[in-house]
A and B are shown apart, each in its own frame.
Chain A
Amino acid sequence: MKPRDLSDLAFRNLREAVLRNSLTTLGVAVGVASLVAMLSLGVGLQELASKRLSQSGLFDTIFVTPKNNFRGMARPQREMQSDKPPRTLDEDARKEIEKLPNVIEVYPQVRFFTEVRFNNKPFATVVAGMPDSSRNSGSFDGMQGNFFSSPTANEAILQIEFAKDLSEKPTSLIGQDLVLRYAERQALPGNDDSANPSGEPSGGFSVVPKELRLKIVGIVETEPAAGYGGYGNARLLMPLSTASTLRAAQVNDLRDIVRDNTANKTTYASLSVRAKSPSQVETLEASIKAMGFAAFSLLDASKSLRTFFSVFDLLLGIFGSLALAVATLGIVNTLVMAILERRREIGVLKALGAADSDVQQLFFVEAGVMGLFGGFFGVLFGWLLGRAITFGTNVYLKRQNLNPIELSSVPWWLVIAAIVFAVLVSLAAGLYPASRAAKLNPVDALRYE
């Protein structure tokens, strides 16, 4: 029989016992709905966690430091085992890293200790320079106020806890000015070799206190890339270009003056390298290490997170599938009943020329159609269930004065996978009834009353 005739007959048969078939389909739908609702929660939680982490800018960023930098993050002992000689992290190195494939940008970490004066009161904190690209990275989504008006603006974004230190009403700070007191580095006149017969290393700098007035333009929950690659959490953020021009004394400055090869070059304590996507971080990290630098990313942490959520989704999927397993028994039951009721009809079909395979396919298509409709409505019910859970959770969070969250998520792959799974499970459930119907002896079937 041609596929269209087969489906015509299958739909006709399903319509004839509409109540029973609808209930069976509903059973499949409930099974799929429980599966989809469970997985949508798993996916939603995973997306929530990933979003928070990606907003922190950690997963597409590699932190590069010189190998001889004595920082715990750079894992100096392991790096020292490499054959490559340690290299200086200077402007040449920055340009070299920038030329590597899949690199969006390479910017230095400008991070220094400072004293902020606001309303004539001093507040000690760490300042960090933010590259202009972080405007679109999602890190500042949901911030109060605005991002910097230009890459060189004398503007500041405060971390919420710091803002609370400054004022009881943090939002009222937006638009106000504060004064940044920092230590500016000023190079001492270098001694050439003839004037330096002792052979002492040349260079060195003096530190001069300076002030800069900054306008507060925004308040953010957390600092993007909090803490990694720098020295403690920055609570005041300013444009990277503005921060760089300040020539504020940083921790590595003290280290650099004791080395004789960096006297006339700008060196960096660390560089942040942004990859095009997290999937390219691993290769990029290896390339940077091969250049003779220490590199660190949170890829391992990301992998653990993915493993955790895969197991979590699997468990949710297993529990969700239990209802679907029960629903498949409903399909088996419905089709076995249909064979009993349509025994004579099967005999007639065979007498008129239907092959065993025609009868088998007819029952298969009926099972598949129930699975298809069950899958479709199941996805719809599952999505509604997820929305209801999200709504209920957000009502609770609102009462607790917490921000609403998107708890469930039904991505396209889940919609398609759930429908395909429902059809496959239904076909498997139709396997026994279909083969039983196909094997019916037509002579016995025609005699059946």
Chain B
Amino acid sequence: MPNADTAIQLEHVSRQYIMGGATIQAVNDVSLAVARNEFLALLGSSGSGKSTLLNLIAGLDRPTTGSIVAQGQNLAELTSIELARYRCNTIGMIFQSFNLLPRMTLEENIELPLRLAEVEREERPGRVHEALERVRLTHRLGHRPAELSGGEQQRVAIARALVNRPKILLADEPTGNLDSVTGEAILSLLRDVQRQLGMTIVMVTHERLLAERYADRLAIMGDGRLLSSSEIAKEAAR
């Protein structure tokens, strides 16, 4: 049972896909607890199942077996509408390719989660400004994503993820499309936000050095499973 200090609790979570008649075990019996205000980095090689695990925590996908409890909500028990509300109010997500809507201005992109959460129109400009201020991009309010650098776009994506004041921030390879300096700046920003707002962050990355520097804890996945300390040592020796 998750205690009060646990933000996310995964119990024997598995996710199988059937593709072309073959069963693919993307996540295999993962149990993991993430504490409140913890910055967890989920590492692993390509195809290790870390992004699938992140999507399961985000409520974008449902596990084949096992249970996920996030902020006291058992995701398996939620209907698709409740799951949408959970994504809207409890979770903030950022992606490797930023996923900003190219035809909208930064302001409109950041306002989008507020529209989905049915926040009153009068309240929205203040919330958008607050989120942009946190990522130091208030002067680019009316610009479109294509007019920004990769690092700036990711900062906008962070602002969009924060605008609904979520408890959990999920980041899927947030530095994957950025150079090392910019990537470091983004992770620095994420850590600052986490400390200022008291958020829980789960970040999927394959950049171990950066993860070690900014995350509170690392979890490593291989073949859909979480690796034990001895397995990590073996992996490192190879």
Contacts and interface: CB of A to CB of B under 8 A. Distances in A.
A and B, one complex?
Answer: yes
Interface of A: 1-2, 4-5, 8-9, 12, 16, 344-345, 347-358, 442-443, 446
A305 B130 CA distance: 71
Most buried by A among B87, B88, B99, B116: B116
Interface string B48-59: 000000010010
Contacts of B101: 345, 348
Contacts of A9: 115
Contacts of B113: 352-353
B117 interface: yes
A2 B118 contact: yes
Interface stretch (B4-12, B77-85, B227-235): B77-85
A358 B116 contact: yes
B99 A355 contact: no
Most buried by B among A2, A4, A353: A353
Given A442-B60, A443-B55, A443-B60, A354 B116 contact: yes
B95 interface: yes
A1 B118 contact: yes
B103 A12 contact: yes
A356 B80 contact: yes
What 5 A-B pairs come out closest when comparing CB atoms? A353-B88, A355-B84, A5-B115, A353-B116, A353-B87
Interface of B: 55, 58, 60-61, 80-81, 84-85, 87-89, 91, 93, 95, 99, 101, 103-104, 112-113, 115-118, 121, 160, 164
A351 B58 contact: yes
Contacts of A347: 99
Nearest to A447: B51
A16 B101 CA distance: 12
A351 B99 contact: yes
Contact of B112 (A352, A355, A443, A446): A352
Interface of B is mostly: helix
A352 B55 contact: no
Contact of A446 (B99, B104, B116, B117): B99
Contacts of A353: 84-85, 87-89, 91, 113, 116-117, 164
Nearest to B161: A352
Nearest to A358: B116
Given A12-B103, A353-B91, 5 more contacts: A349-B112, A353-B85, A443-B60, A443-B61, A446-B95
Nearest to B101: A345
A248 B101 CA distance: 93
Contact of B160 (A5, A344, A352): A352
Contacts of B112: 349, 352
A385 to B, nearest CB: 36
B118 to A, nearest CB: 5
B58 A354 contact: no
Contact of A357 (B60, B61, B81, B104): B81
A352 B60 contact: no
Most buried by A among B88, B117, B118, B164: B88
Contacts of B160: 352
A356 B121 CA distance: 23
A345 B58 CA distance: 17
A12 B144 CA distance: 14
A16 B81 CA distance: 29
A313 to B, nearest CB: 45
A349 B103 contact: no
A18 to B, nearest CB: 12
A138 B117 CA distance: 63
Nearest to A5: B115
Contacts of A351: 58, 60, 87, 93, 95, 99
